[in-house]
Amino acid sequence: MVFLYIYLMKFIYLLFMILFVNIAFASFPVVDSISDPNEGIYKTIGYFMGMFMLVFGIIIAYAYNNKIMIKSAWKGFLTVIGLFVLFVTLLFTLFYFFPEDFNDFGF
């Protein structure tokens, strides 16, 4: 009687595993794309190329034909342009409000 109970429990367990485990496995989404392990390096190199080489860095990033590097190069280039605009705006603001401080420079 005990052996029959053990075999019945094994059969029920096997039936449960066959029927419900496949349903649970198929319920989760399957990711098709695998991320590139060098993505961080492409971002860093692209950003520095855009910052220090400006337009030439963007052209080199396009030559590599890597979307991540191209986007990072544009971000680096726009960072430099933004800092330049901020610096020039600061200079014009200082010159407008304090023109007597700029007399030593011949303006």
Tokens of 87: 């610096």
pLDDT at 85: 97
Could you tell me the pTM of the whole model?
Answer: 0.63
Span 17-67, pLDDT tens digits: 776 666 655 555 666 677 778 888 999 999 999 999 999 999 999 999 999
Tokens of 62: 């396009």
pLDDT at 6: 77
Contact 75, 50 (CB under 8 A): yes
